[in-house]
Structure 1
Amino acid sequence: MEHEITVAPGVRLWAEERGDPRAPALLLVMGANASGLTWPEALLDALARRHRVVRYDHRDTGRSTWSFDEDPYPLTALAADAVRVLDALGIDRAHMVGMSLGGTLTQLLLLDHPERVATATLVGTTPLDGGPADGPGIAPELLALWETMLEPRDRDAELAWRVRHWRVLNGGESPFDAEEFRRREERIMAHAGRHENPAAHARADQGGLDRAGELAAVTTPVLVVDSPADPVAGTASARHLATLLGNARLVTVPGLGHALPEAIAPRLAEVILDHTTTPGGG
C-alpha cells in the first residue's frame, strides 16, 4: 500500500507499507540522497513476515517533494519527517532500522523521541561525534568520487556514475553485481520520474548533529551492525558507536560494505529480526 504524506507546508513524502498491518511496525530510514527503493526487495519481504514494514522517500529523493534549491532545510528536518510519517500512518511506536544517514537520524530519534522507538538497528552509521579520532576515515577513492557528485550528467552518464558509486561503496570483500545495481537504479529513476541527483542532503546544514555526549543515556535497545568492508563507517566506527550508546550490542555481518546487495538480505534480515523479536531487543 502506497501513501502520500504531508510533513511540512508544500512538502509531501512517498511511503509504502507491506506485511500484516496488525504486526509490530518497523520503519526503514534510508541514507543520504537515496530513495526508499534502495532497500533490497528480499530484505523487505523477509522483514514483512514478522512486521508491518514501512519505507519512504526522503525529501529530494524518489517521488517525494524536491524543493531544496527553493527552500533549503537542515538535516535535522529529516528526523522530524520520520516522526511525521509514523504520525500519518497511526503508528505510536516502531522498530527503526537506519542505514548510513538514516542511522544518524535514528540516533536523533533515540534522543528526542525515545517513546516512539521500540528498538533501533544502525547499519553503516557514523556516530554523532563523527567517529573515533584514530579511525581510518572515508576511503580516498570514495572522496574523489563524491567531488563529482554535483556535475551535470545525462541519464546514461548518471546511471553509470551511480553504479560506479555502489561498486566503491560495496567494499572489496563481497562480489559486486553491477547489473543488479544498474537494474535497481533504473527502477529508482523510473519511480522518481527523473534522473538528476541534486545531492540535497550533502548540501544541507549539519547543525544540531553534534550530540554524541547524550547517547550514553539511551535506554532503548540498539543493535549496531558492523559492516567490516564499509569504506564510510567500518568496524572502528561501529565499535565506537556501540560504546557511546547506553544500551547497545554489536553484531558483525561478514563481507558487508556500505551497499545492500540482495545477497546480503537473508543474513541482514536474520540479525534485525533477532533484535526486534527478542524480549528486550536481544
Structure 2
Amino acid sequence: MSAADAVPYHPPRLATVGQVDLCHDAFGSPDAPAMLLIMGLGCQLVHWPEDFCRQLAAEGFQVVRFDNRDAGRSTHLPGRRYTLDDMADDAVGLLDALGVDSAHIVGASLGGMIAQAMAIRHPRRVRSLASLMSTTGRRGKGRTSLRVLRHALARPPRDEEEAIERRVRIFSVVGSTGFDQDLDELRRVSALASERDPDARDGRRRQHRAVRAAPDRTEALHLLTVPTVVIHGTEDPMCHPSGGHATADAIPGARLELITGMGHDLPPGARPRLIRAITDNARRAAAR
C-alpha cells in the first residue's frame, strides 16, 4: 500500500458560514498544515480527483476540498446576486469553522480567482497561493475560445445520461491534448456530480454573473507578498495561457509553471508535476 492509500479520509459534512452552509471533506491528519482546494465555475468538491488529494495529503498536509456556494451540496441562492469577494469570504469563513488560522490556498479556474481575492482581502489567512488555469480579470487576458463558448450555449441536457456525455464532449474540447484523459473517471465523477446537484445549471449562471461583475485585480495583486506559484497549461482553450502570464506578472516573486500539452483539466499524466509545484511553493512559504 502506498503512502497516499494510507491517508485518512474525513467524509463530507456541513459548516455554517454566515448565511450559507458549505459542504466539505478532508484528507490527511487534522494536525497537519491545512491546504484548501477551491474548484471552478459550476464544479464541485468531487471534481478535485481523490487520488490527487491523497497524494497532496501524503506530502504532509490536511487537504480540504469544498463545494462553493451555488454548487454541489452547499447552499444554493436562487434570485440572489453576490460577488467573488463574497465567495472569498465564504472560504475564509470555512477556515474559521475548521479552527484553521491560515492555510495554503489552491484554486483552479474560478477557484483561482477566489483564491486571489482571498489573498488580497485576507492576506494573514493565506500561507501560500497556487493559482491554476486562471487569470486576473484584466480585459483581454485569459480569453475563452469561441469553440468552447459554442458548447456552453448548447441546450441543456434532458437526462443524466445526456448530461454525462455532454461533459465528455466538453472535455474533448477544453481538456489536455498532450495527456491522455481518463474517460471512465470523467463519466463516474460526472454521474456523482449530477446526483449531488441535479439543478447545477442555475447556480453556475449565478457564479458566472459574479465573475463577469468582478473588477480587474491586477493592481491589488501587485501588493501581495505571499509565496505564489501560477500553473497553466499551454493548450488551455477555456482560459488562454495569457491569463497565467498576467497573474504571474502581477504578483511579486510569483513562479510561473507552464505545462506543455495541458488544457483546462487535471489529467493524470500532469498530476506529479502539479503536486510538485504546489508542495514546493507551500514549503517555500514554510521556510520563509
Same fold per superposition (TM over 0.5): yes
What is the distance in 2 between the residues matched to 1:205 and 1:266?
30
Q: Deviation of residue 277 (structure 1)?
A: 1.6
Point out the more displaced range, 231-240 or 16-25. Answer: 231-240
User: Would you say the 8 A contact 1:158–1:195 is kept in 2?
Assistant: no
What is the distance in 2 between the residues matched to 1:33 and 1:268?
22
What is the distance in 2 between the residues matched to 1:279 and 1:58?
26
User: Would you say the 8 A contact 1:173–1:256 is kept in 2?
Assistant: yes
Q: Percent identity?
A: 33
Q: Deviation of residue 208 (structure 1)?
A: 4.2
Change (3 A) 1:279 1:62: closer
What is the distance in 1 between the residues matched to 2:111 and 2:287?
19
Q: Deviation of residue 266 (structure 1)?
A: 2.2
Point out the more displaced range, 168-177 or 155-164. Answer: 168-177
- Pair 1:254 & 2:260 matched: yes
Which SS does the other structure have where 2:92 is aligned? helix
Tell me the residue number matched to 2:52. 43
What is the distance in 2 between the residues matched to 1:279 and 1:118?
6
- RMSD of the TM alignment (CA)? 2.1
User: Would you say the 8 A contact 2:34–2:62 is kept in 1?
Assistant: yes
Change (3 A) 1:130 1:25: farther
User: Would you say the 8 A contact 2:42–2:200 is kept in 1?
Assistant: no
1:214 to 220, 242, 261: 220
- Pair 1:4 & 2:14 matched: yes
Equivalent position amino acid for 2:80 in 1? D
Which SS does the other structure have where 1:278 is aligned? helix
User: Would you say the 8 A contact 1:41–1:262 is kept in 2?
Assistant: no
What is the distance in 1 between the residues matched to 2:182 and 2:89?
35
- Pair 1:27 & 2:27 matched: no
1:270 to 247, 265, 276: 276
Equivalent position amino acid for 1:51 in 2? F
Point out the more displaced range, 169-178 or 95-104. Answer: 169-178
User: Would you say the 8 A contact 2:223–2:251 is kept in 1?
Assistant: yes
2:187 to 159, 182, 201: 182
Equivalent position amino acid for 1:181 in 2? L
Q: How many residues align?
A: 275
What is the distance in 2 between the residues matched to 1:246 and 1:82?
23
What is the distance in 1 between the residues matched to 2:211 and 2:112?
17
Tell me the residue number matched to 2:5. none
2:107 to 81, 98, 110: 98
Which SS does the other structure have where 1:229 is aligned? coil
* Ranges in structure 2 where 5+ consecutive residues have no aligned partner: 1-9
2:87 to 74, 78, 95: 78
Tell me the residue number matched to 1:229. 235
What is the distance in 2 between the residues matched to 1:263 and 1:53?
21
Change (3 A) 1:281 1:120: farther
What is the distance in 2 between the residues matched to 1:215 and 1:173?
31
What is the distance in 1 between the residues matched to 2:287 and 2:262?
22
Residues 49-128 of structure 1: pairs in structure 2 closer than 5 A: 49=58, 50-67=60-77, 69-128=78-137
What is the distance in 2 between the residues matched to 1:164 and 1:156?
13
What is the distance in 2 between the residues matched to 1:196 and 1:95?
28
Give a deviation string over 1:19-76, Cα, whole Å, max 9, x none: 0111111000111110011011111001111101110001121111222x23332333
Equivalent position amino acid for 2:38 in 1? V
- Pair 1:240 & 2:243 matched: no
What is the distance in 2 between the residues matched to 1:281 and 1:151?
49
Please give the TM-score of this superposition, normalised by the length of structure 2: 0.88
What is the distance in 2 between the residues matched to 1:186 and 1:257?
22
